[in-house]
Chains A and B, each alone.
Chain A
């Protein structure tokens, strides 16, 4: 196991290297540069050139990228052009909102998704099953931005309980206040994921419910509910773990659209702002962080499998 983990961690290095190079080159192939964004719409060509020169944007790309890598190896991701603070600090500052939003969304998605999936499978082909499946189709189909805006207009606006946008850091305002800001975004974010988990759970449950050992359990006189929850659910849930892992990895990169709509200062929004402004060091830093998070979460999921299913050995 230890060898396996070490091997996987070492494999992270080339992945990050490739990601970093691609992002670095892609960003510089994109038209637009931070100097022009800084100076505003009525700046002249010469002024933009001059500032770009000072920012070191006119250096050959190879020189820029080697310089950047040299610093990254030292653990220095550089300094954000617009925020004028180290990239690591900027990411750290935006991590809390993204982490809390992700966890909350995941909790909602898993709770709703698994319960709905199990209920649908237990009462297979009933009206309830059809209702849950229709809802989940809807859940997958509804665009996140639309659901977010609807929640703002129909829920947050009439109530004094939910703020329409923004975020309250836990350290300053306490967990309760933070949650008030995050519940609606988490709901809009988790709708699609909950639907996916529900469908997955239902499919797995149905498969397991037709297996030999369930038939044996029923033959021995176990009640329907006991069979469903005690015998079947445990095995049906394993593939769902993969989905949950992928959800988590997706969300870790910051839920870009949701953060933008609800004005939550998380990693996703940081990335969007950075891209629009061409804040190169910040973009590279965030993408590296997201890539690492993705790979690490996948690793954790794989290791969890070994614990969940004793037949799996590394």
Chain B
């Protein structure tokens, strides 16, 4: 070793170590804290303006373009920016949004004339006209699942002057307005020129008419919106997802935080104002914390097991009935969803909060009848063929509890846990599975429940149901439609295409200075203000 060189290296190492220590010291003490105010006791009844509202959602949405995806997160962000012709009020009835009023409908129910509100501006300053609406609806009809379902029966849509619109149908559609109003895969209205070159992939520019404007999307971090200063609210009071909207805050952030405990800590520490999908196990602790508000949402959806009606043992109706008969829903929901305030047992395929609720067939819901299940299996000639049951991580606990019950009845269950992307891929191949767990989220109209479509994984091709659905789609008389819905639900319990387990809500956490939040089943932040 050359002495000189070693001394040099020694010096170098000493300098590096010193630098490291200096760096650590500087980074620890060299910056002044600007922590958020954590205590605010006074409650403001008068809305206040200004501030930045920071919301935490549980994942990054795959898009903001509402036409592209039915994923909840897409419209949770999107509907602050975009609006639709119609939307839903507190009772989930259709109310006008960009449309001036309910449409005029011809006697043969084939022609709808819709008037637009005048003087509405897009965020780019352009005025909203019927050309934008026509272009948006046509794209929506081409690429969104709801749009496609409606456009089956649409002959054409055309502009009628600058603020008028004619929709011509090939046969009556009782749910036309509901289709235009629902937010999931919603018929959002974009400027014509943005729609023109978008195609089926997401639009690149997010220009709408909503109370908030898009500012930036920082991948893996947040989406930032700002108040739309030129927003023109409707003339009637806020109700449900519509009525008069106002952006009280200057900026609205949607941060994506996947880890649930970090979402909680974020609101607890005051760094954020709102968190969705907080673990319900935390409820008892959080509801007693001063200043924080922990609330259960309205029911978001219901847990279910979809059965494969195309091939394998589950194609046998008796075996499906045995599956339903064996289950005791209470311990299953308990395992899957924990705290009692966040789930309930209910037989209906539509929610209690909706005009569609029905208890048709409820004698077959939650039977807990192992003996009956055994008899049905014997009758079906079931020989212990494996039931391959796919479940994502979210539904694993409830599926495991159900598996134990089913095994008591003599089922041979092969429960396969996988990530959600794998479930969605495999479920479209009928050779790979007999059952999979999923959730069905809130729908404004029974005809929009995904599992009723024969093309949905599980392939329920029941002619009677399809005829009833067709009748419901064409008829706009509520009583007739309700009767058809009840009939469908009876068949649902007899034929068992899907097993309903129970309704679930989720836990939301609000910081002390958030006011005006409407705790419905979906989240939105217009009309929400921050205390100064």
A interface residues (Cβ-Cβ under 8 A, vs B): 30-33, 36-51, 54-55, 82-85, 90, 93-94, 104, 107-108, 110-111, 114, 149, 152-153, 156-157, 159-161, 163-167, 174-177, 179-180, 183, 230, 233-234, 237, 260-263, 265, 269-270, 273, 276-278, 307-308, 310-311
CB of B70 within 8 A of CB of A149, answer no
Nearest A residue to B60 via CB reads A273
Q: Which residues of B contact A307 (CB under 8 A)?
A: 9
CA distance A30 to B420 in the complex (A): 12
Instruction: Name the contact of A179 in the complex, choosing from B27, B270, B438, B455 (C-beta under 8 A).
Output: B27
CA distance A42 to B2 in the complex (A): 72
Give the A-B pair count, Cβ closer than 8 A. Answer: 189
- Greatest chain B CB density within 10 A among A37, A38, A179, A260 is at A38
CB of B10 within 8 A of CB of A234, answer yes
Q: B257 on the interface (CB 8 Å rule)?
A: yes
27 inter-chain pairs at a CB distance below 8 angstroms, sorted by A residue, are A31-B425, A36-B424, A37-B424, A38-B62, A39-B69, A40-B71, A40-B72, A41-B438, A41-B439, A42-B440, A47-B148, A54-B200, A55-B201, A111-B20, A111-B24, A153-B265, A164-B268, A175-B31, A176-B30, A177-B31, A234-B10, A237-B13, A261-B259, A262-B262, A276-B421, A277-B62, A277-B421
CB of B21 within 8 A of CB of A111, answer yes
Tell me the chain B residues, 40-84 only, with Cβ under 8 Å from chain A.
60, 62-63, 68-72, 74
CB of A273 within 8 A of CB of B220, answer yes
Q: B287 on the interface (CB 8 Å rule)?
A: no
CA distance A14 to B351 in the complex (A): 59
CA distance A74 to B145 in the complex (A): 38
CB of A270 within 8 A of CB of B31, answer no
CB of A265 within 8 A of CB of B271, answer no
CB of A234 within 8 A of CB of B9, answer yes
CA distance A126 to B221 in the complex (A): 48
| Smallest CB separation, B27 vs chain A (Å) | 4
Q: Which residues of A contact B24 (CB under 8 A)?
A: 107-108, 111
Q: Which residues of B contact A177 (CB under 8 A)?
A: 31
CB of B219 within 8 A of CB of A164, answer no
CB of A160 within 8 A of CB of B36, answer yes
- Greatest chain B CB density within 10 A among A30, A42, A46, A83 is at A42
CB of A165 within 8 A of CB of B266, answer yes
Q: B369 on the interface (CB 8 Å rule)?
A: no
Q: B349 on the interface (CB 8 Å rule)?
A: no
Nearest A residue to B185 via CB reads A40
The 9 closest A-B pairs by CB, nearest first: A160-B35, A176-B31, A32-B421, A40-B71, A42-B450, A265-B220, A45-B428, A40-B70, A31-B425
CB of A166 within 8 A of CB of B221, answer yes
CA distance A242 to B30 in the complex (A): 32
Q: B5 on the interface (CB 8 Å rule)?
A: yes
Q: B404 on the interface (CB 8 Å rule)?
A: no
B interface residues (Cβ-Cβ under 8 A, vs A): 1-2, 5-6, 9-10, 13, 17, 20-21, 23-24, 27-28, 30-33, 35-36, 38, 60, 62-63, 68-72, 74, 145, 148, 184-185, 199-202, 204, 218-221, 255-259, 261-262, 265-266, 268-271, 418-422, 424-426, 428, 438-441, 450, 453, 455-457
CB of B421 within 8 A of CB of A31, answer yes
| Smallest CB separation, B187 vs chain A (Å) | 16
Q: Which residues of A contact B13 (CB under 8 A)?
A: 233-234, 237
CB of B200 within 8 A of CB of A183, answer no
CB of A32 within 8 A of CB of B27, answer no
Instruction: Name the contact of B262 in the complex, choosing from A43, A44, A152, A273 (C-beta under 8 A).
Output: A152
Nearest B residue to A164 via CB reads B265
Instruction: Decide: A163 near B269, CB < 8 A? Known: A32-B419, A40-B70, A276-B421.
Output: yes
| Smallest CB separation, B281 vs chain A (Å) | 15
CB of A165 within 8 A of CB of B219, answer no
CA distance A281 to B67 in the complex (A): 24
Q: Which residues of A contact B221 (CB under 8 A)?
A: 166-167, 263, 265
Instruction: Decide: A45 near B455, CB < 8 A? Known: A40-B71, A237-B13.
Output: yes
| Smallest CB separation, B311 vs chain A (Å) | 15
| Smallest CB separation, A174 vs chain B (Å) | 8
CB of A160 within 8 A of CB of B33, answer yes
| Smallest CB separation, B173 vs chain A (Å) | 19
CA distance A175 to B28 in the complex (A): 12
Q: Which residues of B contact A108 (CB under 8 A)?
A: 24
Q: Which residues of B contact A166 (CB under 8 A)?
A: 221, 255, 271
Instruction: Name the contact of A38 in the complex, choosing from B63, B262, B453, B456 (C-beta under 8 A).
Output: B63
CB of B70 within 8 A of CB of A39, answer yes
CA distance A164 to B69 in the complex (A): 31
Q: Which residues of A contact B2 (CB under 8 A)?
A: 310
Q: Which residues of B contact A149 (CB under 8 A)?
A: 259, 261-262
Instruction: Name the contact of A164 in the complex, choosing from B23, B262, B440, B453 (C-beta under 8 A).
Output: B262
Nearest B residue to A176 via CB reads B31
Q: Which residues of A contact B425 (CB under 8 A)?
A: 31-33, 36
Nearest B residue to A160 via CB reads B35
CB of B6 within 8 A of CB of A32, answer no
Q: Which residues of B contact A85 (CB under 8 A)?
A: 219
| Smallest CB separation, A114 vs chain B (Å) | 7
CB of B262 within 8 A of CB of A270, answer no
CA distance A97 to B435 in the complex (A): 43
CB of A42 within 8 A of CB of B441, answer yes
Nearest B residue to A111 via CB reads B20
Instruction: Name the contact of B265 in the complex, choosing from A41, A114, A156, A230 (C-beta under 8 A).
Output: A156
CA distance A108 to B20 in the complex (A): 8
Instruction: Name the contact of A157 in the complex, choosing from B6, B33, B256, B269 (C-beta under 8 A).
Output: B269
Instruction: Name the contact of B200 in the complex, choosing from A42, A51, A156, A157 (C-beta under 8 A).
Output: A51
